[in-house]
Copies of this chain bind each other. A is one copy, B any other.
């Protein structure tokens, strides 16, 4: 690399990642396939995925940064317990940011935005059956992301995706009860209604109610799976 002072940085382009290892491990931890406290090793994971230790090592480091793994030098790497404090903080941060975001969305929403939200709601209703849980989950996320986009703050949702990670681990511990999907969609409908009505106060209140529902479920799951947790 020359030291030319006018050298310009190339366009972004995320590295061509052979880091499928990262995605696979993240999913395994999030879904509970490998459980908190369980130990994994660079060597074994490398062998399992047919790669060398180096990319595995990078994946480990990254997952440790995100709070999924706990690397203890010279000892081993372990799936981190779900920390109740981290869950609570995630809830606080999420509520704070999303309430403000949805308020902005209600102030700025245009007809096309409302139409987009309505389309998402329709899609969401179409995948409410229990066997389409992953699709339901994805559309849930998409709705929140769309609200952030409408608010002009898409990056806020990007941040929340990272912050929410500990929350999602809890959600995965238990599939939800029968009326759960309908309740979620109904609450989303309320939010969209208030956004469509350009009612910031109502939108914020609807979002707060929605998140309280989600958080209550998280707390319930946490109580019934306390062995996976750490104070």
Chain A positions within 8 Å of B, measured between CB atoms, are: 1-3, 5-10, 12-13, 15-16, 35-41, 44, 57-58, 61-62, 65, 70-73, 75-76, 78-81, 85-86, 89, 92-93, 96-97, 100, 153, 155-156, 159, 163
Contact = CB atoms under 8 A, between A and B. Distances in A.
Contacts of A72: 10, 13, 15
Give the 6 A-B residue pairs with the shortest CB-CB distance, closest first.
A1-B39, A89-B155, A9-B78, A15-B73, A96-B100, A10-B72
A74 to B, nearest CB: 9
B1 A76 contact: yes
Nearest to A6: B37
26 contacts: A1-B39, A1-B40, A2-B39, A5-B35, A8-B37, A9-B39, A9-B70, A9-B78, A9-B79, A9-B80, A9-B81, A10-B72, A10-B75, A12-B70, A13-B72, A15-B73, A16-B73, A57-B58, A58-B61, A61-B61, A86-B155, A89-B155, A89-B156, A93-B97, A97-B97, A159-B163
A71 B61 CA distance: 17
Given A9-B37, A57-B58, A86-B155, 8 more contacts: A1-B41, A3-B38, A7-B78, A10-B76, A10-B78, A15-B72, A15-B73, A96-B97
A39 B9 CA distance: 8
Contacts of A163: 159
A15 B71 contact: yes
A201 to B, nearest CB: 17
Nearest to A100: B96
Nearest to A12: B70
Contacts of A65: 62, 65
A16 to B, nearest CB: 6
Nearest to A80: B9
A176 B44 CA distance: 53
Contacts of A12: 70
A1 B9 CA distance: 44
A53 to B, nearest CB: 10
